[in-house]
Amino acid sequence: MASEDSPLPVFGYDLWDKDDNAEKIKFKTPLDKLLKGELSAHAAAYNINEILQNTTSERLRQLGAYAQSHDMTEEDREYLNWGDLPPPNAGAFAELVLDYVAILCPAFDPYTEGQNRLFAFLKALQDLPRWEGPETYPDAKGEVYTSTFWKFGLSWIGLEEAFSLQYHRVIPEDHHDAAARNRWRNFQHTMARLTADELVDCHRFSALHDITPGLLSELRCKFIKDYKITAAAQWLIYPHIREYVYRMCLKNEKITYGNNWKPWAKDRWRDWKIEFEFVAGSPLYGVETRLAAARALCAMKQAEAGEDGEEMCSALRLEIEAKIMEEASSGNDEEHARDSESGGLSELRRTLVWETSSTPCWEEYYSL
């Protein structure tokens, strides 16, 4: 499946760091060869798995030898007095691999060759024979706590942390930066695809949470930046991701917070529909943003209607897109594009903000 989003400038991936040690280089090399087409997804997965097995096994062997050559007391074991030897820490190496995937994912547009290779690699890891990776220092009996590799899925708690740092790094600081917006869109699509494929649960990083319920529809003005709308749409415009989100939303009537946080709910689904419908019909947003919102809105309607609604939703999407393009040709969205490039609002847009809002939207009137 190819990306339907318009290509924007984006920097190439930067996997290597001048401070990489030998261990990091070992894990990065198969990924680099994968993306260059020098290794298949299966071969890269096999190599990574073998490196992890050998590394953790060697660490465990060294710990066993240390325990035999030292008169270790119960207190030594309790306070982890193992000299300078680290634990096997297999789970940390799994997170390290995903750290590198997180670094790479903003560089590739949805369903392009680079992104598809990364997902083929992760699924190849998942399909490898299960084995128990040692995590802890051995106890007095030589036994250790283990994790099952590579099971992925919701039960492997903590893997999503590998994407946390990159999440904060890739959020656009300047929403006029096209490359930054594109990286954010790509990152969001990767988070959505990882979640829908049930490889890693990355729902907490979803840009859908950036769409404040009711804000746009009540004030009828532009509080949410264009790049947030386009990024949020990544969780809805592609069929298998959309079906996952819709299925999860049907499980809860309302979103809950706190320790039992459930981000998917029927009320949130309704809120998203309202916001996307507003953006698709608002001249305050650029053409590409409005088209993305229209795609998301129609995709949501199709999810609700099922297969029987495919033809109707396709016709609706064409109708909305035609209206957007017609308004663009009249000059409203060219005006918006010029404003976005200059960073300021024209008098025309100030008038639009004022006249279309029952409650004047001061942030929109004076900002951007």
Residue 346 has pLDDT above 50, yes or no: no
Provide, rounded to the nearest whole percent, the portion of the chain with pLDDT above 90.
53
- Sequence-separated (6 or more) residues with CB below 8 Å from residue 299: 236, 237, 239, 242, 313
Residue 188 has pLDDT above 90, yes or no: yes
Of the pLDDT bands very low, low, confident and very high (cuts 50, 70, 90), residue 310 is: confident
Domain spans in the chain, listed from the N-terminal domain onward: 1-205, 210-366
* Per-residue pLDDT tens digits for 252-265: 998 877 655 667 99
Residue 361 has pLDDT above 60, yes or no: no
The whole-chain average pLDDT of the chain stands at: 83
Of the pLDDT bands very low, low, confident and very high (cuts 50, 70, 90), residue 356 is: very low
Identify the pLDDT of residue 176.
Answer: 74
Q: What are phi and psi of 256, to 5 degrees?
A: -120, 155
Identify the pLDDT of residue 79.
Answer: 87
pTM: 0.82
Instruction: Tokens for 114, please give them.
Output: 């680079």
